[in-house]
Amino acid sequence: MKNAYISGTGMYVPPKSVTNDDLRTVYGIDTTNDWIVQRTGIEARRFAEAGVGSSEMGSYAAKQALEDAKITAKDLDMILFATLSPDMCFPGSGPLLQQRLGLTEGDDPRFVPTMDIRNQCSGFVYGVATAASMVRAGAAKHVLVVGAETHSAALDLSTRGRTVATIFGDGAGAVVVSATDEDRGIRKWYLGADGRYADMLKQPIWDIKQRPYIKVNEKGEGVIPPEMLWPQMDGKAVFKNAVERMCGCVMEACFDLDVTPEQIDLFCFHQANMRINQFVADQLGIPQEKLVHNIHKYGNTTAATIPLLLAEAQRDGKLKRGMKVALVAFGAGFTWGSMIIDW
Ligand SMILES: CC(C)(COP(=O)(O)OP(=O)(O)OC[C@H]1O[C@@H](n2cnc3c(N)ncnc32)[C@H](O)[C@@H]1OP(=O)(O)O)[C@@H](O)C(=O)NCCC(=O)NCCS
């Protein structure tokens, strides 16, 4: 059986940086820089311009990852797209990305399978686990995994929505998962979910049990009340469960591999909240120098946080061949996942 390793990383963040003060002065939200920094560690986030969506940002990150892996888009055997902000309800962003990457063009089109992964902040870890499974099974040699989000389009950027709107940002990260005979790569993952908490973090938009699924006015236009249109979150429940689950899933993956957290060189935690990550690190006794962060400058980019961390850490020289790396995620659902990689 082949091993599966990450052969390339890539990233894209939109150029427009929105600071905490901008949320107050430009968007009119009743908040302060101190409130946001103290509770979340976020200083700024990126917002994409209108007209830019998740498959476009994902394509920029994907092109970098392909270049880093020294392959072309036509070498791919599969595309996995993790997002909670797909370009539209259906089809998924996977086929849109396939087309953007040019796989369908030319004399040798490659109609490779694509799949969207709707697992919110854990989506990227679920995606890499799926890619590694395909590679190990011999069903694929190179799988592209993208995590991309366009949150700025779907946030209630007003005082009413401030608890949620101040923590999310836009961006995309990508990796190529490839087959190798070398003794390295994705060693173990641990995934989980608890649907009892589905209401704690959600953006319903519609209710498919109703007829029709979105209320329609006399002009035949859909009418969506704010509590359906915008994300809703029980922040305290998310915080508590995130700390517990992230600690638990690091320990599960370590236990299965018979390694201890001390033997891991670099931890890439999902970037939901600096305080959550600090709690997890303290509980597990992980020193600061083994953690990488980007929440201060990008906010919570959901499925994109971990591939963004990987791409940046690799470019900054913090992530090097031979290191033992742990990825840890938690998000809506609730869903969670961890993964240990010999880089
Ligand atoms: C969101 C979070 C920062 C809120 O912090 P908190 O201490 O729980 O704050 P609360 O929701 O209890 O609100 C406290 C007060 O601050 C206010 N507030 C909320 N958002 C605010 C903002 N952006 N600016 C200023 N005040 C704000 C609330 O209205 C409330 O005011 P009140 O006491 O007058 O009613 C915190 O719960 C958290 O980080 N949760 C995890 C969220 C997360 O990581 N989500 C993504 C998971 S993938």
Q: Please give the chain's pLDDT, 343 residues, in tens.
A: 999 999 999 999 999 999 999 999 999 999 999 999 999 999 999 999 999 999 999 999 999 999 999 999 999 999 999 999 999 999 999 999 999 999 999 999 999 999 999 999 999 999 999 999 999 999 999 999 999 999 999 999 999 999 999 999 999 999 999 999 999 999 999 999 999 999 999 999 999 999 999 999 999 999 999 999 999 999 999 999 999 999 999 999 999 899 999 999 999 999 999 999 999 999 999 999 999 999 999 999 999 999 999 999 999 999 999 999 999 999 999 999 999 999 9
In a domain, 83, yes or no: yes
Domain harbouring 27, CATH code: 3.40.47.10
CA end-to-end span of the chain: 18
Q: What's the pLDDT score for residue 183? A: 97
98 and 194 belong to one structural domain = no
* Number of domains the chain is built from: 2
Other CB atoms closer than 10 Å to residue 33's CB: what's the count?
A: 16
Q: In terms of Cα–Cα distance, which of 127, 143, 124 is closest to 135?
A: 143
Q: Ligand 1 mean position to 236 CA, how many Å?
A: 8
Q: Are residues 236 and 151 located together in one domain of the fold?
A: no
**What pLDDT was estimated at residue 322?**
97
Given the residues 3, 119, 142, 270, select the one marked as catalytic.
Answer: 270
Is the domain of 273 the same as that of 322?
A: yes
Would you say residue 281 lies in a domain?
A: yes
- As beta bridge partners, residue 267 has 291, 326
Residue 14: strand, helix, or coil: coil
Instruction: Say what the pLDDT of residue 285 is.
Output: 95
Do 80 and 162 lie in one domain? The reply is yes
Q: Is residue 224 part of a domain?
A: no
Domain co-membership, 94 together with 146: yes
**Spacing of C-alpha 257 from chain mean position:** 25
Token pair of 19 as six digits: 């600071």
Residue 263, pLDDT score: 96
Q: Does residue 150 lie within any of the structural domains?
A: yes
What pLDDT shows up at residue 240?
97
Q: Six-digit token pair at 238?
A: 């998310």
Set 20, 121, 273, 277: catalytic member: 121
Taking the CA of residue 272 as reference, the ligand 1 atom at the shortest distance is 44
CA 149 to chain CA centroid, Å, is 8
Judge if 50 and 39 occupy the same domain.
yes
89 flagged as catalytic = no
Q: Are residues 156 and 82 in the same domain?
A: yes
In a domain, 225, yes or no: no
Q: What is the domain range of residue 115?
A: 3-183
Instruction: Indicate if ligand 1 lies below 6 Å from the C-beta of 159.
Output: no
So what's the pLDDT on residue 105? 96
163 lines ligand 1 (CB under 6 A): yes
In a domain, 173, yes or no: yes
Does 56 map to a domain? yes
Tell me what pLDDT residue 219 has.
98
Q: 27 with 171, same domain? A: yes
Both 135 and 280 in one domain: the answer is: no
239 lines ligand 1 (CB under 6 A): yes
Atom of ligand 1 nearest to the CA of 332: 48
Q: Does residue 72 belong to any structural domain of this protein? A: yes
